[in-house]
Amino acid sequence: MPAYHSQFKDAQGELVCGSVVLPIKTDVRGPAPPCALDVEDCVDEAINLFRANVLFRRFEVESPADRVLCYLMVYIGECIRLVQKEKDNQAARKALTTFIKKPFSVPGEKAFGLGGFFTNAANNKEADTFRAYFRQLREECGNRLFPRLYNPDGTHNKWWMQYAKKKFMNINSA
């Protein structure tokens, strides 16, 4: 059974390191164009497909949008593992906010975990665009994911926390 691929495979946009800058619904500043509030964007798609796709060990990239999806799948797994360690949702929110703001690697850097999926940045401008776009995605994804990870009473949502031990394609970090 194949993994679920991005519905945005035909999306047009700026190409950066083999991925495409897709529109998102956000107030977070960055290079992503705005998306209508009543449609699903790539962040919604990644969150909705995470629990199905995380079970796959292989993922064949079919479009630049699939690279964005792969990155977000790995990132969501990191977020779940991070907040799962926290006892209450206030401490988890603080830890997640700190994690979101933390510097991260881009394609071409040694620590980048998805090097086989992305092309290396051709120049500093492309690396900066990648960093700005994926920082915007990381922040928006973390903000939308957090309410799903916790029940209204502040306890862990077991239907999401059970995926803390799963790694999309066995990759640890994005």
Instruction: Residue 155: give its domain's CATH number.
Output: 1.10.1760.10
Closest CA to 47 of 28, 68, 29, 17: 68
In the chain, the number of structural domains is: 1
Residue 118 structure tokens: 């992305």
Q: Are 80 and 163 in contact (CB under 8 A)?
A: yes
Tell me which residue range forms the domain holding 110.
15-170
- Specify burial of residue 20 (Cβ count, 10 A radius: 0-12, 13-18, 19+): buried
pLDDT at 166 (0 to 100): 86
Please, which residues have CB within 8 angstroms of residue 27's CB and are 6 or more apart in sequence? none
- Does some domain include residue 134? yes
- Does some domain include residue 79? yes
pLDDT at 2 over 80: no
- Does some domain include residue 67? yes
- Does some domain include residue 143? yes
pLDDT at 172 over 80: no
- Does some domain include residue 7? no
Give the model confidence (pLDDT) of 122-152 as tens digits.
999 999 999 999 999 999 999 999 999 999 9
pLDDT band at 47 (very low <50, low <70, confident <90, very high): very high
pTM for the structure as a whole = 0.93
- Rounded Cα distance, 92 and 156, in Å: 10
Give the model confidence (pLDDT) of 112-127 as tens digits.
988 888 999 999 999 9
DSSP summary character for residue 112: -
Proportion of the chain above pLDDT 70, given as a percent: 98
Mean pLDDT confidence for 4-12: 91
Proportion of the chain above pLDDT 90, given as a percent: 73
- Does some domain include residue 3? no
Residue 40 structure tokens: 């699903």
pLDDT band at 76 (very low <50, low <70, confident <90, very high): very high
Residue 71 structure tokens: 């990155």
